[in-house]
Amino acid sequence: MDPELPVVRLCVAGMQAEAEGRAAAARELFQQAWDGARDDYEACIAAHYLARHQSSPAETLRWNQECLDRADLVGDERVQGFYPSLYVNMATAYRELGRLACAHRYFVLAADRAADAPEGQYGDWNRFAIGEGLRDTAAAAAAEGDAEAGRRGRVDVGVEGPVRELLARWCERGDLKALGLTLPAYLGYLGTTGDRVRLRSALHRVHAARWLPVEEQTWVERAMRAVDVT
């Protein structure tokens, strides 16, 4: 985003007000951004922030829908990286309304666009939110006849058990190195070949360092063998 755009400057000021605990001031700044938006791109940006300051889940959904609609109208590279979080926001709003099957559909859309998010913490946050959302809403989607529900975001059956056992042990004794290497790949797992490669690579790095107890080395080996990267 161009930091010199008036809308962007207002939204940056609004985020600063949020960080300082001044919610009313933040909402006013975001409203000013919306009122001053000159095109769909600027309206998309402003609507995103206004959605965060609504008093009901229904209004939050309305503003997230407005944001998504404006992004669709823009339709160029300026908004390409927005879509993962736009779909996550839609899914989260539907989940807050108890419409879990609808939420699942938007989490699937978010997973399909996850690679469009910028790399780094922002991209990781999106992947973590998508993975968690897919798992949390899969049962509701399946109950409404979605035959594919539950397949996206589920770690391979042979991997889930040993990895969760390892993570539990590392948390218990505070092994931050092992957690730091493995947890991002596990939490951001969306079921793609790339996700399997990342998870296996993370497990391999932990295994190769040889600092784990023998029993845990065996668990890591078991998980590595179970990750299908073919």
List pLDDT tens digits, range 97-123. 999 999 999 999 999 999 898 888 888
Structure confidence at residue 70 (pLDDT) = 97
DSSP string, 87-143: HHHHHHHHHHTT-HHHHHHHHHHHHHTGGGSPTTHHHHHHHHHHHHHHHHHHHHHHH
Token pair, residue 154, equals 């589920």
Least confident of 57-66, 150-159, 201-210, 218-227: 150-159
pTM for this predicted structure: 0.82
d(CA 230, CA 217): 23
List pLDDT tens digits, range 2-52. 778 899 999 999 999 999 999 999 999 999 999 999 999 999 999 999 999
pLDDT band at 149 (very low <50, low <70, confident <90, very high): low
Question: What is the arithmetic mean of pLDDT over 177-203?
Answer: 88
Structure confidence at residue 153 (pLDDT) = 59
